[in-house]
Amino acid sequence: MHQPQVGQVVTVFRNRLRDDAQPAYGEELEVVAALAREMPGFVETKTFTADDGERCTVVTFADAGSHGAWRDHPRHREAQRHGVTSYYAEYSIAVGATSYASDFGGGS
């Protein structure tokens, strides 16, 4: 588990997929996650699926500048457009800077 830091920028992307979205969506998600991991300032990304089928991806960058570079990357923008037209039944995005950070048992 990553140790959170004040100033990191966290994106919470919640979505529900269309019935016909798999398996192509998984391939697209991996491309976008790989892009994030290659970007300067990348900290972590994880995706979770709830029992009701809602998915949640959390992406963390070290600061606003590195988050903005990922957000505005042409490949990321292309994936966003493709997601709207091909994969998502619904989604929401929340982005915020970490103003408080704490962890327990993370080796600090």
CATH number for the domain including 21? 3.30.70.100
How large is the C-alpha radius of gyration of the chain? 14
Question: Which pTM does this prediction carry?
Answer: 0.87
22 has a pLDDT exceeding 80:
no
Q: What pLDDT does 31 receive?
A: 85
- Distance CA(44)–CA(64), nearest Å, equals 15
Q: Judge whether 24 lies within some domain.
A: yes
Q: Say which residue the tokens 């982005």 belong to.
A: 95
Strand 9-17 versus strand 42-49 pairing type: unpaired
pLDDT tens, position by position, 39-90: 999 999 999 999 999 999 999 999 999 999 999 999 999 988 888 888 999 9
Q: Judge whether 39 lies within some domain.
A: yes
What is the chain's mean pLDDT, rounded? 91
pLDDT-derived band at 30, boundaries 50, 70, 90: confident
- Distance CA(13)–CA(56), nearest Å, equals 6
88 is in which domain, residue-wise?
9-97
Q: What pLDDT does 54 receive?
A: 96
- Distance CA(55)–CA(43), nearest Å, equals 20
Q: Say which residue the tokens 């391939």 belong to.
A: 27
Number of domains in the chain: 1
29 has a pLDDT exceeding 60:
yes
How many Å separate Cα 43 from the centre of its chain?
11
User: Dihedral of CA 56/57/61/63: which sign?
Assistant: negative
